[in-house]
Amino acid sequence: MSIVLVRDSQVRAMESTVTNAEKYFGHFCSLLAAYTRKTARLRDKADQLVKQLVDFANTENPEMRATLRNFAEELARVQDYRQAQVERLETKVVTPLKFYGPQIKQTRAEIKKCKHIRSNEIKQLEKLDKLRQKSPSDRQMISQAETGVQKASADASRTTHQLEETVDAFQTQKLKDLQKIFLDFVTIEMVFHAKAVEVYSSAFQTLENYDLEGDLQDFRAKMRGVYGQKDARPRRDTAPSAAVPWSRPSQSAQSTTRSQRKEEEASEDDFPEEELEEEDLGGWDRDSINGMRTSKSRK
């Protein structure tokens, strides 16, 4: 009977090992699968952020536009690494854990079989004890019962030994796989974060090198370009410059007056007509050219 108790203790220990593996490997599988899905969703959200950055960059001034586009490219590179991270987690971490479901079921079936045979051994022992108590003189029945006990005991011993080998192999493989799975998990995470730190460092430099003053100057120049004419209109009462376009009418009138005066003087002093025309046209041409250059510079 002591042998039966020893076998019972062995089976309970092996069953406990398989039960714990079933419980915790199931938790590991569900949690790491959720971790992988969360990482994939994070990748998707980051892709949306990249798209919004590019769209917003197209509305900004040149310096910010270039900075945001470069930053978006760096962020997109991180998501490429994150995509590789998701695929590796699925292949090297989640999938191997899923395979433990069938293995645990098979090991449980072996334990159930062993427990059934052990129960038969206990029944044969109890039957023999009852015969010895009720019919101690019935040697034939006692001999048959003893034979049944020996057979049941041999079956139980053989089955227990096979179960020991099965559970030992299961435990060995479980420990090796657990080590490899989490080594792969840590390696995948380290590779991703190492690459991400490298890319984020470049993104940091991109953002840090942004020329704020250049964009502000461009913005203010555009603002002056839009409102510059309103600011300049009140200056009409001041002395007009040759470079101001709206001074042409008064200068033209003065030029005409000078021309008439010089024609009168030419008629009196017999000056050549060509010189008068050259002087008159020369003043108008200078005003026209200055007006055009000023206009271009304002544009």
Q: Are 259 and 231 in contact (CB under 8 A)?
A: no
Reading the block at residue 209, the tokens are: 């090198």
Angle, nearest 10°, between helix axes 273-298 and 248-269? 170
Give the span between the Cα atoms of 83 and 39, in whole angstroms: 9
244 Rama sector, left if φ>0, alpha if ψ -120 to 50, beta otherwise: beta
Q: Please report, as a single letter, which amino acid is at residue 13.
A: A
210 Rama sector, left if φ>0, alpha if ψ -120 to 50, beta otherwise: beta
The residue length of the chain stands at 299
CA proximity to 30, closest of 131, 86, 108, 101: 101
Q: What angle do CA 281, 284, 288 make, to 5 degrees?
A: 135
Q: Please report, as a single letter, which amino acid is at residue 164.
A: E
The larger pLDDT score, comparing residue 137 to residue 92, is at 92
CA proximity to 160, closest of 5, 11, 3, 17: 11
Going from the N-terminus, what domains does the chain have, and what CATH number goes with each? 1-224 (1.20.1270.60)
pLDDT in tens, 254-273: 444 444 544 544 444 444 44
Query: pTM to 2 decimals?
Result: 0.65
Task: Name the most confidently modeled range: 83-97, 152-166, 256-270.
Answer: 83-97
Listed in sequence order, the residues at least 6 apart from 231 whose beta carbon sits closer than 8 Å to its beta carbon are 224
Reading the block at residue 184, the tokens are: 């792969």
**Mean pLDDT score of the chain:** 77
Give the span between the Cα atoms of 247 and 289, in whole angstroms: 13
pLDDT in tens, 214-224: 888 888 888 88
pLDDT in tens, 9-29: 888 888 899 999 999 999 999
> What is the DSSP code string of 199-228?
HHHHHHHHHHT--HHHHHHHHHHHHHHHHH
Give the span between the Cα atoms of 119 and 133, in whole angstroms: 21
Q: Which residue has the tokens 């019972």?
A: 8
